[in-house]
Each structure stands twice: as C-alpha cells, then as structure tokens.
Amino acid sequence: MLDTKWKIAIIVCWAIFSMQQHACAQKIRATQMVISFYSKAPLEDIDATNNQGVSAIDMATSKIAFVVPIIGFEFKNGLMQEHFNENYLESDQYPKATYAGDLIHFDPEKKGVQKVSTKGVLTIHGQSQSIEAKGTMERKGSEWHLICQFSVKLEDYDIEVPKLMFQKIAETISIDLQATYPLQ
C-alpha cells in the first residue's frame, strides 16, 4: 500500500499533468509552413521559398507568432541565394525573421473559411516594424489552414541595394505565407 507522501506526489503530478494538457490544448503549432517572396524588377524577377519556419497560435487569445530562418530561403539561382544571404540579409549576423501579433476577426469555434487580418511586429535584418496583413483561416477537418499575403519595403528593414542592382531588385517585396495547424 502507498504511504501518504506517495499519494500526495501522485495527486500533485496528476494535477500538473492535467493543467499542462489544458494549457497545451489552447496552443496549436504549425506542422507545415511555406513562405515565399517575389520581387518584380525590370531586368530580372526574383523569387524564393522557405519551408523551415515555425509558427504557433494561442487559440484562447488569438496571438500568433512565427520564426523563420533566413538561410532557409531557396532560390532557383545559387548565386542569387548567396548574394541574398551574404550581401542583403546578412544571415550570419541576422539569422532569423520573427513576427508576433494578433489574429483579428478569428473565431476558433467557427468552421469553414474566415477572412482574418493580423497586426503585429515583424523583425527582419535587426529592424522591427509594425505591419498589418490580410488573409484567411480555414478549418478543414482537424486542421486550420492560414493563407496570408503582405509586402515589405527593403528600406524599412535597413536592407541596402547597391545602385548597380536597383534595376534587378524591387524596393517592395511581396510575401506569401501558408501554414497548417493541426488541432490537438
């Protein structure tokens, strides 16, 4: 038979486990995420894709966050990828981009497609800016799917483009994000 100390320890462990289960049920993490960007310029269009980001949503508060490793962006042109990491985004010095904000007009109880927006702070290249983006959240079975588009100006993030390259790189970059969040 268990003595009183063991009974108390089991009850405390069970209570902690129950609280953690409840807290975890409020947060969902993306299992798949794709971020791509596109730059239309007179001489050459530039696009890249990154599948290495992570994201989480707190369903109770509608807070959303992303962390994206800069070096994870893949280009069709290897030289372009090298210049991106070494000369423009300086990924050794600034290895990640982050976003933290709020999902607006999001109802976690509603099924189907919802038009949402998000307001928060995007940090790229060591510079933080408030941004607002529009998109959709769609509940399909036991998953939420986020699709979002927004633009960033290079100068807002202190990303300098050499004068010789101004016809190859647009000043504003279009970003598309897709993420899948399974329900716990």
| 159 close to 172: Cβ distance less than 8 angstroms | no
pLDDT number for residue 114: 97
Q: What is the pTM of this model?
A: 0.81
User: Taking the chain (184 residues) in consecutive chunks of 10 residues, what is each chunk's mean pLDDT?
Assistant: 45 41 69 92 83 96 97 92 90 97 94 95 97 96 95 92 62 94 88
| 49 close to 34: Cβ distance less than 8 angstroms | yes
pLDDT number for residue 8: 45
Tokens read off for 40? 């239309």
pLDDT number for residue 77: 87
pLDDT number for residue 3: 54
Tokens read off for 70? 């800069």
pLDDT number for residue 164: 53
